[in-house]
Structure 1
Amino acid sequence: MAFAIDTAALDELAEMLRTHMGEAILDSVIAHEQLAMRVKREAIVDVVRFLRDDPRAAFINLVDICAVDWPARPERFDVVYHLLSPVQNLRIRLKIATDEYTPVPSLTGLYPAADWFEREAYDLFGVLFTDHPDLRRLLTDYGFDGHPLRKDFPLTGFVEVRFDDEAKRVVYEPVRLAQQFRDFDFLSPWEGTDYVLPGDEKGRPN
């Protein structure tokens, strides 16, 4: 059974943040039973610390950190933080904007769980974090070229990875798309093909 969210409590939380954080809060909206706020990049640690430590908020759980790529924008990345307050039964989503070269303050000093979330954002999007204790790739292999969740990353990637049995190691090779063995008939699957597929001859009348 789902618990009803008190929208009045979300309004109070938004007002409290605007009062205490001032210009650090750029805008806010209540949607889908949670408060969403856009925050200045350099103020994200102060805002999150206030949300964690103030008993009227008590957002002690960091649920997720992820990134979104908007390649047409000068600051192409949104870094999105989802926090949960079990005490208040409230959720909040914070967003900050950055580009490919400007690092974002790390939250690892506030939430140990931020470690792998930030490593994942770095690995898949290339978002940089300052004061992170071990900012290295998490999901892709060592020596991987590029960041695969960027909108401008090629669908086929840059290299393919395979285990070379002769060399007894993993090797990287340029992507090769072999088309010579593929046969496209471009016929509608609803109308069927004009040739007999293997096995279909058994169902055809003599």
Structure 2
Amino acid sequence: MATLHSAPRFTLIDGLKDTLSGVIGNALVEAREEHGELLFHVKRGEIENVLRTLRDNHEYQQLMEIAGVDYPSRDERFEIVYMLLSVTKNNRIMVKCTASEETPVPTVTTLWPNAGWLEREVFDMYGVLFDGNPDLRRILTDYGFEGHPFRKDFPLTGYVELRYSEDEKRVVYEPVELAQDLRQFDFMSPWEGADYVLPGDEKADMPPIDEPKTTESPKQTGAGAKTDAKAAEKVSADAPAEKDGGKDSPPPKPTENRKSRAKRVGKTTDTAKATKPKKKPAAKRKPAAKKKGAE
């Protein structure tokens, strides 16, 4: 028997953009549809009020994610994107605002407790400040880490490297020193081609090399009948193995008929005494007969 649910399989977004745009009101900067989803760009200072309205009045109950994006060429280089889910409408929307390195964003930990962890991650990776977050600390990088790794101008190797010092018997941080510098990020598509010459590409404009010189006769290469005959000579002609005619020495005689050794004496088997054969007891001498008249 099929089970019917009160929640629809999906919510059509036709007309939903106009409805939510009217609810957001003056806080709305832009509303558009991208890849089948609705995206609302709102003012930074009104982000908490807008999300509260969407949660309480339009059933977007869950905050699924907070993501950051970096556009270094903009005045407010960061975009903070909030992804909301309505479990009753089976629908998702995205709400975003912009910020710079100095302008903090109001926290939404007052609406969703899980926002504390998500805001800490955006702060750690991008350096965006959240006003009102009770525990705004790094969450992914190490203690004392310098910089924010997801910024486009952050070097691929970082600023410092970590290693264990045998002299100091502790972990130390040192400035990164590379034998070869990495290329700078140019924000250009590799398929369109760069407006500068990459290292190594200058060889493509070089004229072709001269044709290699060819030999007109075998004499110029040192080849010929004499060279082939000399190469065929055996270097080991005067070696002892060659003088003996290459005959192998006869194999040793078989040892099956060899006499067995005498049985060892005693329990020890690795001493010189044990390897000696057992001596026969000496024969007793008969007493000498007395001569007559020798008394």
Matched AA of 1:45: E
Within 5 Å, give how 1:71-150 maps onto structure 2. Answer: 71-150=72-151
Q: CA deviation at 1:114?
A: 0.6
Match of residue 19 from structure 1: 22
Q: Secondary structure at the match of 1:7?
A: coil
Structure 1 unaligned spans of 5+: 180-185, 187-206
State TM-score, norm by structure 2.
0.56
* 1:6 aligned residue (6, 12, 18): 12
Q: CA deviation at 1:142?
A: 1.0
Structure 2 unaligned spans of 5+: 1-8, 181-199, 201-295
Matched AA of 1:104: V
Q: Distance in 2 between matches of 1:53 and 1:173?
A: 51
User: Is the contact between residue 29 and residue 36 of structure 1 (CA under 8 Å) also seen in structure 2?
Assistant: yes
Q: CA deviation at 1:4?
A: 4.8
Q: CA deviation at 1:6?
A: 1.3
State TM-score, norm by structure 1.
0.78
Q: CA deviation at 1:164?
A: 3.2
Q: Which stretch has the larger CA shift, 102-111 or 163-172?
A: 163-172
* Counterpart check, 1:177 vs 2:178: yes
Q: CA deviation at 1:22?
A: 1.1
Q: Secondary structure at the match of 1:48?
A: helix
* Counterpart check, 1:45 vs 2:48: yes
Q: What are the Cα deviations for residues 81-109 of structure 1, in whole angstroms up to 9, with x where unaligned?
A: 11110111110101101111000000111
Q: What are the Cα deviations for residues 103-131 of structure 1, in whole angstroms up to 9, with x where unaligned?
A: 00001110111111111111111000000
Q: Distance in 2 between matches of 1:21 and 1:63?
A: 20
Report which of the two has the higher share of strand: 1
User: Is the contact between residue 11 and residue 89 of structure 2 (CA under 8 Å) also seen in structure 1?
Assistant: no
Matched AA of 1:118: E
Match of residue 58 from structure 1: 59
Q: CA deviation at 1:59?
A: 1.0
The percent of aligned pairs where both chains have the same amino acid is: 50
Q: CA deviation at 1:15?
A: 2.6
User: Is the contact between residue 27 and residue 37 of structure 1 (CA under 8 Å) also seen in structure 2?
Assistant: yes
Q: Distance in 1 between matches of 2:72 and 2:85?
A: 30
Change (3 A) 1:6 1:178: same
User: Is the contact between residue 36 and residue 93 of structure 1 (CA under 8 Å) also seen in structure 2?
Assistant: yes
Q: Distance in 2 between matches of 1:91 and 1:20?
A: 17
> What is the RMSD computed on CA atoms of the aligned residues?
1.7
Q: Distance in 2 between matches of 1:4 and 1:20?
A: 21
Q: What are the Cα deviations for residues 133-183 of structure 1, in whole angstroms up to 9, with x where unaligned?
A: 00011111111111111111111110001233554432111112246xxxx
Q: CA deviation at 1:31?
A: 2.4
